[in-house]
Chain A
Amino acid sequence: MTTPAVSISHLRKVYRGGTVAVDDLSMQIAPGDFFGFLGPNGAGKSTTIHCMTGIAKPTSGKIEIFGIDAVKDYREARRLIGLSPQEFNVDTFAKVTQIIDWMGGYFGLRAAERKARVEMLIDRFELGPHAKKQFRELSGGLKRRVILARALVHDPKLLILDEPTAGVDVELRRDLWRYLQELNRDGKTILLTSHYLEEIERLCRTISIINDGKIVREGPKAEFLLTGDLEAAYLTATGAEPDHIEGAAA
């Protein structure tokens, strides 16, 4: 039996103050899958991702990354993950090359390897003219490219993209789609959250919908499209008003 890329069992996350962000969530992502993780704002998507990557501490439950316990053996598990977060968590005065290089260093890449990876990613994301600029000097789209390059510097087996195309223009979005498909074809497992259902429909093979901290529907993309389009399926799963659902299906 193949070890799942991600296996989450009965995950629960309660924040200080008592807010239950994730409640008894279980899901699996197959290796090599392009997995869409959908849900309204505040549904628990980012909290689930934060628990997987070490930014948040799970209250209870178990998370395994390629069979490695993400809490007990967290160092080994984290080496397998690359995260492109929803918000820019960057030293805004640092230069583009520094941001990518430092992340490579954190993950233990040796200097020569790091240099080659940084150069390759700078070239891949067409950041060459901006390599020596400070992060704060870049446009929104360029910032998003830097964050993606940073997530890929250690060549993770699992790439987590939390709304990677938010605020990105159409041209770059399409370019990123092509690039993500290329990465996925090369065997990288990708978990993608997005509010652009077109993006999820175009890229993902498996979809999971979370609402109020619980998975409310999951399965292959084809199943979601059997009874209409993804938007109608999404609105139904998240308990939207019937007129909204009818509007989407029309």
Chain B
Amino acid sequence: MSTIDNTAELTPMSPISINWIGLWTIIRREMSRLMRVPTQAFVAPWISALMFIFVFGYVVGTRIATIGGHRYIEFVLPGILMLNVVNAAFLQSSSQIYFQRFLRYIEEVLVAPFSHIEMIVGLLAMTVVRSVITAVGILLIGAAFGATSVSGIVEFLFWIVAVSIIFGLLGIIIGLWANNFEQLTMLNIFFITPLSFVGGVFNTVHMLPGWLHWIAWANPFFYFINGIRHSMIGFTETPELLAAGLTLGLMVVLLAVVWKLFSIGYGLRE
């Protein structure tokens, strides 16, 4: 064995400095983990979206009248896209933190010089990356059916990133709380899937029975889906500023909750 050379030079750190190299390493590492399961991470949501677009948009949609002057496939594509962005974001952050806890390699991050906010940003960055890749794939599938259009690119990006962050934060909360795989999937089964289906993916609120309208208005997915739909085809059933305001408000509340959980070490530190 050779003699060791102890000359590593750490980047100087002031109290407010950001560990950029560390943050980039969190992203690199998680990307490496995802690349071990590309079919599960990316191909599965694309195939699911392809089936939804083909069956509901193309096959069934040709027998449905236009909605707000748009073909049904154009109406339904933003909802399907949002459905998959939500799932990608939630699965990414919840599984990332849960597996790190489960296999205990979260300790590698805990003993490193990261602030709580850096750890959260690291988790969310990869969440946004996975959501954007998923969204781009679905846009391309939609384009193959001649249904993709983006009327406002900034607005479109706002909705993809904002919704990714919201469900990334929810995923972190569940990933910290869950003590088994059953608990990890509960929010998805009982909350995300039902609310996203009744949040206007396939229909307008006016197609619902009158007594169900208030449920639609109380459903956050309704605002997310209408937001992305407006950015793509210019059609919405909600005031845009109200939808954006509610989304940003929800994001701030969830960020505060996650920051608090990290600062008290919930699910992280013994």
Say yes or no for B63: interface residue by CB 8 A criterion: no
Residues on B facing A (Cβ under 8 Å): 1-11, 13, 15, 19, 21-22, 24-26, 28-29, 32-33, 36, 103-115, 265, 269-270
A248 to B10 Cα, complex, angstroms = 47
Task: Choose among B4, B33, B106, B114 the residue with the greatest number of A CB atoms under 10 Å from its CB.
Answer: B4
Contacts of A106 in B (CB 8 A): 19, 22, 25-26, 108-109, 112-114
A124–B13 touching, CB < 8 Å: no
Is the beta-carbon distance between A81 and B111 smaller than 8 angstroms? yes
Q: Known: A57-B269, A89-B104, A123-B2. Is A108-B111 also a contact (CB below 8 A)?
A: no
B13 near A79: Cβ-Cβ < 8 Å: yes
Complex contact A117–B8 (CB within 8 A): yes
6 A-B pairs whose Cβ atoms sit less than 8 Å apart in the complex: A73-B15, A91-B29, A102-B28, A109-B9, A117-B8, A182-B4
In contact, B269 and A108 (Cβ under 8 angstroms): no
A161-178 Cβ-contact flags toward B at 8 Å (1 or 0): 000000000000001000
A94-B32, A108-B22 are contacts. A89–B107 as well, Cβ < 8 Å?
yes
B11: contacting residue among A92, A102, A110, A183, CB under 8 A? A110
Question: Size band of the A side of the interface?
Answer: 35 or more
The residue in chain B whose Cβ has the minimal distance to the Cβ of A85 is B107
Contacts of A196 in B (CB 8 A): none
A137 in the interface, Cβ–Cβ < 8 Å? Answer: no
In the complex, what's the smallest C-beta–C-beta distance from B61 to chain A, in angstroms? 42
Given A123-B2, A179-B1, 13 more pairs with CB closer than 8 A:
A55-B107, A57-B269, A75-B15, A75-B19, A76-B113, A79-B10, A89-B107, A92-B103, A105-B29, A106-B26, A108-B10, A179-B4, A186-B4
